[in-house]
Structure 1
Amino acid sequence: MLVLGIDLSSDIGNVSLVQGQTVLGSVSVRMRHRPLLNCIQLIHDLFRLTDCKIDDLDLLSGVVGPGSWTGLRVTAVTLNTLSFTLQVPVVPVNLFDALAENTICRDMDVFAVVQATRTHAHVAQISKNGTRTATHADIEYITFAEIMNIVEKSANIVISASDHAIDKLRVFCGDQIRLTTVEHLPPTSIGAACVASGLYLAHPVKWSESFIRPEYLGSPVDGGAFEIKRGIGGKALENEK
């Protein structure tokens, strides 16, 4: 199965082609201006660098939140357009699931931190004592100053998917935490990696929608329902009954 994965959720935009568990190609760029043109250029460069053709795609995947508001919208527009044109299904990927899927937890508690605004972040525990934990229900929306109330001053690792979040964590947490950055995950496209791993394909009934609908790009509110908020990303298909 040939999967195109798009991740524009943070400062580094990435597009990858994954065949099974093999990354055939991956290109990245720092997302500064013209994110839509950057995404199109990345896709063009990716197919130019590989022997694949866009008509060979079996599946499209992309990170749909939490993360950069603009990046998430560009991802949704790009995937929906490609899906409509190529008649290929889309699988939206939650960033915290992707981070957990690509993280070697060892024997530690692991927390994922994704910047939401200049002052706030999405935080969720993705591993406890080396065991994978649920990532959907416990995403908290807090200030960077409050992160130490969740992450204990021990051998915990805080994983960040944003350069700005890394800087904020260093300011507020200092040396009190072990900080591991994963803005360049192996394989670099966490969206494609999740799909290739079978994380989402294990539940095909959830992907009855071919397109990513705008209401799926929301933010956790009081740990439950989702709403669209400028500057804040969200997760897809979790609020669908």
Structure 2
Amino acid sequence: MKILAFDTSNKPLTVAVVDDGNVLAALESTEKKTHSVTLLPDIQKALKESELSIDDIDLIAVAKGPGSYTGVRIAVTVAKTLAFTLKKNLVGVSSLKVLAADGDENKILVPLMDARNDNAFAGVYQYSNNQLTNLIEDHHTSMSKLLELLEKYDSKDLEFINATDHLTDLIQEKYPEVKILNTKDSLPKADKLAKLSENEPVVSDIDSFVPTYLRLTQAEHDWYQKGHKKYGNISYVEEV
């Protein structure tokens, strides 16, 4: 099965083409450019390196969030457009799960995305039978609550992944000796996204497939603060 996989939910952009487990092309970019400008050219470049056309692709795999609101929307929009217009299967994979795939297979893995103000997007994963299983669902949380939630595990069994310098400081206050992969050593990789996608369900309704944000945007938060109902007859998007 030929898989085109890409992730723009984080600062790095990553694209890969994988055929039955063999990586035909893999591109990672940490350049300070807008993902909306670079994603499609990088997809074209990866296909060219693979000596394939987009018509040869069987499955499109995308990191569906959480992460940068704009970044997640870019990847999901491109994935939905390609899947719908070309009639290809589509799979969405948690962006945190993609980060967890970088971790030690013998550890309990805690992938993170810094959400500012001592908060993070986080999940807890562990390898079982060569597959990543979710022990604690992805969620938006304060670091204090997350670290409290992790007290049931032995710290020597934990590995934090994609921790910024600030999150590293917060973690080490509680776990001075715990294993931590910082952001520069735990870049998301689209070839691992492709592998994960093989064990995820295919999206049944491409039209209704949406990113996983895990928290409101600032605009939505302000809108609801003004008295609008979150679950009323008119949604924030419809109103705007």
Which interval holds the TM-score relative to the shorter structure? 0.7 to 0.9
Which residue in 1 is equivalent to 2:118? Answer: 119
Residue 22 of structure 1 aligns with an amino acid whose one-letter code is N
**Residue ranges of structure 1 left out of the alignment (5+ in a row):** 220-226, 232-241
Report SS of the residue matched to 1:10: coil
Report SS of the residue matched to 1:168: helix
2-structure distance, mates of 1:45, 1:55: 15
Cα deviation code 1:158-193 (max 9, x no counterpart): 3334xxx422222222334210356335x6433212
Which residue in 2 is equivalent to 1:184? Answer: 187
Report SS of the residue matched to 2:39: helix
Which of the numbers 189, 211, 217 marks the counterpart of 2:212? 217
1-structure distance, mates of 2:165, 2:217: 23
1-structure distance, mates of 2:127, 2:3: 31
Contact 1:79 1:90 in 2 (8 A): yes
- Of Structure 1 and Structure 2, the greater helix share is in 2
2-structure distance, mates of 1:147, 1:172: 11
Report SS of the residue matched to 2:65: coil
| Cα distance change of structure 1 residues 88 and 131 upon mapping to structure 2, 3 Å threshold | closer
Contact 2:111 2:124 in 1 (8 A): yes
Q: What is the number of residues matched between the two proteins?
A: 212
2-structure distance, mates of 1:154, 1:97: 20
Cα deviation code 1:98-127 (max 9, x no counterpart): 345554431x33322223345311222212
2-structure distance, mates of 1:92, 1:72: 11
1-structure distance, mates of 2:22, 2:3: 10
Residue 229 of structure 1 aligns with an amino acid whose one-letter code is T
Contact 2:124 2:137 in 1 (8 A): yes
Which residue in 2 is equivalent to 1:160? Answer: 161
Contact 1:217 1:228 in 2 (8 A): no
**Residue ranges of structure 2 left out of the alignment (5+ in a row):** 220-240
2-structure distance, mates of 1:230, 1:31: 26
2-structure distance, mates of 1:64, 1:218: 9
2-structure distance, mates of 1:74, 1:47: 19
Contact 1:6 1:16 in 2 (8 A): yes
Q: How does 1:21-36 map to 2 (within 5 A)?
A: 21-30=21-30, 32-36=32-36
Q: Does 1:149 align with 2:125?
A: no
2-structure distance, mates of 1:112, 1:213: 23
RMSD in angstroms over aligned alpha carbons?
A: 3.1
Contact 1:125 1:133 in 2 (8 A): no
| Cα distance change of structure 1 residues 58 and 228 upon mapping to structure 2, 3 Å threshold | farther
Deviation at 1:129, TM superposition (A): 10
Cα deviation code 1:29-59 (max 9, x no counterpart): 1263321111112112212322111221111
Contact 1:160 1:166 in 2 (8 A): no
Cα deviation code 1:68-114 (max 9, x no counterpart): 111110001111221233221211112244345554431x3332222
Q: How does 1:30-179 map to 2 (within 5 A)?
A: 30=30, 32-101=32-101, 103-106=103-106, 108-117=107-116, 119-127=118-126, 134-135=133-134, 138-152=137-151, 154-161=155-162, 165-174=163-172, 175-179=176-180
Larger radius of gyration: 2
| TM-score after normalising by structure 2 | 0.74
